Amino acid sequence: MLRANSLLARERMKPLAIAVACVLVGWLLSAVLPAYFVFLGTTAIVAMISLLGLGIVTGSAGMMALCQLSFAAVGAWAVSWLNSVDAPGGLVVWLPLGGLAAAAAGVVVGLPALRLRGVNLAVVTLGFAAAADLTLGKIQFPGTQTGIQVARPDLFPGDRRYFLFAVIVLALCSLLVHYLQASRWGSGWKFVAFSERGTASAGTSVTVTKLTAFGAGAFLAGVGGGLLSGQVGLVYPSSFTTIQSLALYVLAIVSGSYLIDMAVLGGILWVLVPELLKRFGISQDWGFVIFGALGIQSLTTGSNLGADLRAMWWRRTQRRRKSAEAPAAADAARAPAVPDAGTKVPAATSQTSAVPAAVRRPTSSAVSGAGALLSVRGLSVTFGHVTALSEVDLDLTEGSVTGLMGPNGAGKSTMVDALAGFLPQHQGTIQLAGQSLNGLSPMDRARLGIRRTFQQDRVPPTLSVGAYVRFIARGQASDERVEELLRFFNCPPPSTQLARVDVGTRRLIEVAANMAASPRLLLLDEPAAGLSHEEHVSFAEQLVQLPDRFGTTLLLIEHDLDMVRSVCNDLVVLNFGEVIASGQRDDVLANPQVMTAYMGELEVS
Amino acid sequence: MLQGASAGLAAGGLYAVIAVCLTLMARLVRVVNFSQVAIGMFAAYLAVIFAEQHLPQWAATAAGVCVGAVVSGLIGWIIAQWLPEAGIGARSAVSVASLLLLVSLSFILFGSKPKTFKSLLPGPAFSMGNVVVTQVTVVMVALALAVAVGCHVLLTKSKIGTKLRALSERPTTAELLGVPAKGLSIAVWAGTGLISAAAVSIVAPTQTNDPISLSFIIVPASAAALLGGFRRLDLAVVGGLALGMLQGALAQFEQMSVLRYWVPFLIIVVFLLWAERKEVWDVAR
């Protein structure tokens, strides 16, 4: 235990240690590099900080932001203005203020982005960049007309010292990004890039998540811009043109600048490529031609430098580990599989130690006298002329497991969508423990204790298992509880990357994560799809225990009759959007209408 | 002010033509082509180079326009080849990279200073009262209308139009039914490249025509296309013409020049906020 704690502490100190080491290297470089390279180095650092910001917006949150240098210009403008009015504190204080000014601009530009995604956002940001570009050309930066240079901090005069200052700022920004990426915000960014529905179902606001990404990205750009004004003294609009913003965006994609080391590499490329071209007497405009071509290559292959290098490194360490573990064949089999289609990560343990001796079937809603947890009356959903659900009534007793059945297109998933809040236009009432849910967003419903899983894969591969579970749990589960739940569902350990987990196991992780949120009601939309027969059976055994162990009520959409028989006590059968039978399991299964609507189809197939 | 609006109409015609091209691209090949005007710019500059080689003006322009179509087709081929199933975001990002590539390449080949374009259509067409309407204006407005109507007829009445619509709505199904997806996509790219190259070649002599200013006409043009939601050709044309006239009218007031820069951006923002005021989700389910 002690050893684990010291390991954890060492893991926490690692980023700090790396940052200190980088500052030391920066100090060494500032002393030994020729003056010209020191100046170029500062330019590279400015680009690195902007790339770190783009890494958040574009790399993590998956939004197309084409105005990064316009945000940098806002930061530079703020710093120049603070300098021209001789504001107290000096550059050390002005830098974060410039960052905040840029973040404010970012949030304003991001506001229309709340409900916009992808390309529309790209159009907005390109419009902002073009307008800001022209405006800056017209109004100029404060101090340029009067020739008031932006004052550098007293401790860091001269280009060499200022380079060291820039390195310190870079180290601080990198630490900020590191901790943000590891925080709930960071998980939210990666989540929203993969699925907005998934984000809202986890009780997290899509709007806030996007705005924080935009704000954080712009803040970093603003700090970069402020740093630049200290470097050059007098700032001119030519440093922040739209075309440079586009180039930076492309470079962020090529390098994979959501990874801190890759943002650093990207910044180096930003100055190295034009510098090399200059050395060889080639027009520096070829630099952006090269970036453009690399961008096309990177986008069409869906890869980036950072991901490629990391994949290479991972394969190497895996190979080494395998050869080391070769004698212990049993252990080697446990190593996570390469994410090839079809390969599976074997569960950490095939037997769950957490299973209690006596497996008790949960209470039946028909038998128990407890009040209804969920009460649905007259629920109807129409899409144009198609009626997906018509006058559906449903009661779920606290602690029950109810199966929702019906042939394809019967309206099962529509039902789950309506309960989870994705179909606000529905008619009828939905109440959770007496509280009406009508008009509440998916996020609000998730926070009230209705959680759901998806039929489609809504598990972002960019997260680790642990980060994913913690994000879904919203602080409801301790680390021990997370590990317990993962073990209970035979899921891989928290440190595993989701990208290396097969789809069937991802569904189990999704269920485990939602259970970690301690929901009152969990809606499971075909959670066993993609599992083998053995896994099916063990999954059913686990589901049965959930109400007693965790006090959660379950609504389960499932086609597998064996599973329905072994897990559910009540059944509701839908056909063409109407309830054709509901009640105790055996009664419903014996209902002739159900036989024709559901079983008939099964026999045919 | 009326004179200003009329002067802006030529630019408005260009916005409208480009907006129609953008709408077609978004509908048919799932791309918001940020390099649409840059392709036209590249073609127009090539025409200047060709004309300097003692080619007659019309031949130089035609050659430039053809190269524009080929360049556009080439980008389309890259996307059709490697990103056939990708979403509109990933495909459009490629066009951002090509915009960067084309603008930088023009700096190298043609320099960053404005070129002296020989006007293809010099002089006024007619005047109403004290408002003069130039030939370029007349041709551009006519071209915008013709392209929009022509594309509409092509899409709704012809066999190839049916195939194109099938391709846009259900690409995989269409391909399984024997619609040559890749070939048609490339044809759409080449076709819109041809149209925008021709439009830019006509208007370039009357505009600030350095590579950057020309290429970033994509901003007002995409604002116009957004008015039609990247779906409706008629609204794209109306939006383009109106935007051009508004900017032309504002250009009359020196003190409003900064506002003029922000007009496309503000229109984009206001329109998008209105259009997407209801909650929508990223996927159907």
To probe the interface with A, which of B96, B99, B278 has the most A CB atoms within 10 Å? B96
Backbone torsions φ then ψ of B253, nearest 5 degrees: -110, 110
Select the residue of A66, A196, A296 nearest B98 (Cβ to Cβ): A296
**pLDDT at residue A349 greater than cutoff 80:** no
The pLDDT confidence band at residue B281, using thresholds 50, 70 and 90, is confident
Output DSSP code: residue A464: B
Contact across the interface for B104 and A288, Cβ inside 8 Å = yes
Two structure tokens written together for A539: 């999954």
Q: What is the side-by-side order of every strand in the sheet holding A372-383?
A: A386-397, A372-383, A427-432, A435-436
Two structure tokens written together for A25: 């290297």
Q: What is the mean pLDDT of chain B?
A: 88
Q: Note the pLDDT tens digit of each residue in A163-210.
A: 999 999 999 999 999 999 999 999 999 999 999 999 999 999 998 999
Q: What was the pLDDT predicted at A601? A: 53
B2-284 CATH fold = ABC transporter involved in vitamin B12 uptake, BtuC (1.10.3470)
Contact across the interface for B100 and A441, Cβ inside 8 Å = no
Q: In this structure, how many other beta carbons lie within 10 angstroms of the beta carbon of residue A257?
A: 34
- The size of the A-B interface in CB pairs under 8 A is 161
**pLDDT at residue A443 greater than cutoff 80:** yes
Map residue A405 onto helix, strand or coil.
strand
The pLDDT confidence band at residue A359, using thresholds 50, 70 and 90, is very low
Q: What was the pLDDT predicted at B284? A: 65
Spatial neighbors of B55 by CB under 8 A, at least 6 apart, are B63
Q: What was the pLDDT predicted at A348? A: 40
CB B70 within 8 A of CB B190: yes
Select the residue of B94, B226, B280 nearest A296 (Cβ to Cβ): B94
How much is the average pLDDT of B40-46?
93
* Closest alpha carbon to A485 in A450, A530, A525, A519: A519
**pLDDT at residue A344 greater than cutoff 50:** no
Phi-psi region of A573 (alpha: psi -120 to 50; beta: other; left: phi over 0): beta
Contact across the interface for A197 and B282, Cβ inside 8 Å = yes
Contact across the interface for B104 and A456, Cβ inside 8 Å = no
Q: What is the 3-state secondary structure (H, E, C) of A32-83?
A: HCCHHHHHHHHHHHHHHHHHHHHHHHHHHCCCCCCCHHHHHHHHHHHHHHHH
Spatial neighbors of B222 by CB under 8 A, at least 6 apart, are A123, A126, A127, B19, B22, B32, B34, B268
Q: What was the pLDDT predicted at A79? A: 96
Helix (H) or strand (E) holding A396: strand A386-397
How much is the average pLDDT of A239-255?
95
**Smallest CA–CA distance from B33 into chain A, residue:** A119
Q: With beta carbons under 8 A apart, name residues in chain B contacting A417.
A: 285
Two structure tokens written together for A200: 């809202």
Query: How far is the C-alpha of A467 from the C-alpha of A184, rounded, in Å?
Result: 8
For chain B, give percent helix, strand, coil, nearest 5. Answer: 75, 5, 20
How much is the average pLDDT of A150-154?
92
Output DSSP code: residue A598: I
Alpha carbon distances (Å) from B274 to A115, A301, A414, A576, B227: 11, 36, 28, 35, 11
How much is the average pLDDT of B244-252?
89
Q: Note the pLDDT tens digit of each residue in A269-321.
A: 999 999 999 999 998 899 999 999 999 999 998 888 888 898 899 889 989 98
Contact across the interface for B257 and A119, Cβ inside 8 Å = no
Q: What was the pLDDT predicted at A2? A: 55
Q: What is the mean pLDDT of chain A?
A: 87
Q: What was the pLDDT predicted at A384? A: 86
Q: What was the pLDDT predicted at B165? A: 86
- For chain B, the domains span 2-284
Q: How large a percentage of chain A has pLDDT more than 70?
A: 89
**pLDDT at residue A350 greater than cutoff 50:** no
**ipTM of model over 0.85:** yes
> What's this model's pTM, rounded to 2 decimal places?
0.89
Q: What was the pLDDT predicted at B199? A: 94
B261 at interface of A, judged by CB pairs closer than 8 A: yes
Alpha carbon distances (Å) from B147 to B15, B34, B144: 12, 19, 5
Contact across the interface for A243 and B103, Cβ inside 8 Å = yes
Q: What was the pLDDT predicted at B272? A: 79
* Closest alpha carbon to A450 in A362, A373, A540: A373
B251 at interface of A, judged by CB pairs closer than 8 A: no
CB B16 within 8 A of CB B234: no
Q: With beta carbons under 8 A apart, name residues in chain B contacting A250.
A: 96-97, 100
**Smallest CA–CA distance from B264 into chain A, residue:** A127
**pLDDT at residue B276 greater than cutoff 80:** no
Q: What was the pLDDT predicted at B135? A: 87
Q: What was the pLDDT predicted at A140? A: 86
Q: Are strands A578-584 and A570-575 parallel, antiparallel or unpaired?
A: antiparallel
Q: What was the pLDDT predicted at B60? A: 93
**pLDDT at residue A354 greater than cutoff 50:** no
Residue B281 Cα, gap to closest chain A Cα (Å): 7
Q: What was the pLDDT predicted at A145? A: 85
Contact across the interface for A283 and B264, Cβ inside 8 Å = no
**Smallest CA–CA distance from A298 into chain B, residue:** B94
To probe the interface with B, which of A57, A128, A196, A300 has the most B CB atoms within 10 Å? A300
B83 at interface of A, judged by CB pairs closer than 8 A: yes
Contact across the interface for A292 and B97, Cβ inside 8 Å = yes
Spatial neighbors of B250 by CB under 8 A, at least 6 apart, are B4, B256, B257, B259, B260, B263
Q: Is the dihedral of CA A443, A446, A448, A450 positive or negative?
A: positive
Contact across the interface for A250 and B105, Cβ inside 8 Å = no
Q: Note the pLDDT tens digit of each residue in B66-86.
A: 999 999 999 999 998 888 878
